Amino acid sequence: MGTAYTAQDWSELFVASAGASAALTGLLFVAVSVNIERILNFPGLPERALQTLLLLLSAVLVSLIGLIPGQSTTALGVELLVASIVFAAPIYALMFKTMPGARDYAHPAVHLSLILPGTLPLIIGSVSLIALAGGGLYWIVAGLLGAILGASINAWVLLVEILR
């Protein structure tokens, strides 16, 4: 079995990802706390804050699951699939409350581009691990990076852009 399907080979990456995601989660709480009144005044922004929190928490949880010792690749795939779906479902449900119509300044594709890279690759990677084909943990890494990047951009909106 290659590196793409052996979690032990990725332990340092999972440790770094868990730490970075947890730190960003703390910064998100600061951003929301500083601008809570403004966030509550904009339709869709409270939901966007929750969506951002869920993206970061999914990255933390996926990283921690990847660090569980001694589990089979299939078990890892199943655990990651369940976690990915549990987080992706509310993230996408919240998307409809954060889209234009609630706010008139962004195209839906822009907002979708912030959450899709942090959710879909996690699901694809989980299925790939179960099937032992198709890229495995490389998809998971793409999903972790997508979640962190998308959440960081959303956090910037919640901290800075709403003050403009």
- What pLDDT, on the 0 to 100 scale, is given for residue 95? 83
**Which residue in the block uniquely carries the two structure tokens 């998100």?**
28
How far is the C-alpha of 109 from the C-alpha of 153, rounded, in Å? 15
Q: What is the number of structural domains in the chain?
A: 1
Report residue 114's pLDDT band, with 50, 70 and 90 as the boundaries: confident
- Taking the model in full, what pTM does it have? 0.91
pLDDT higher at 15 or 42: 15
* Residue 106 reports pLDDT greater than 70: no
If you average pLDDT over residues 44-56, what whole number do you get? Answer: 92
Range of the domain at 21: 3-163
Expressed in angstroms, the distance from the first to the final Cα of the chain is 52
- Which residues does 18 contact at the CB level (< 8 Å), separation at least 6? 59, 60, 63, 64, 67
109: its two tokens: 């594709």
pLDDT higher at 110 or 2: 2
How far is the C-alpha of 143 from the C-alpha of 145, rounded, in Å? 5
DSSP the chain: --GGG-GGGGHHHHHHHHHHHHHHHHHHHHHHHHTHHHHHHSTTHHHHHHHHHHHHHHHHHHHHHHT-TT--HHHHHHHHHHHHHHHHHHHHHHHHHHSBTTBSSS-HHHHHHHHGGGTHHHHHHHHHHHHT-S-THHHHHHHHHHHHHHHHHHHHHHHTGGG-
How far is the C-alpha of 90 from the C-alpha of 47, rounded, in Å? 10
- What pLDDT, on the 0 to 100 scale, is given for residue 100? 52
Average pLDDT, rounded, for the chain? 90
If you average pLDDT over residues 120-146, what whole number do you get? Answer: 97
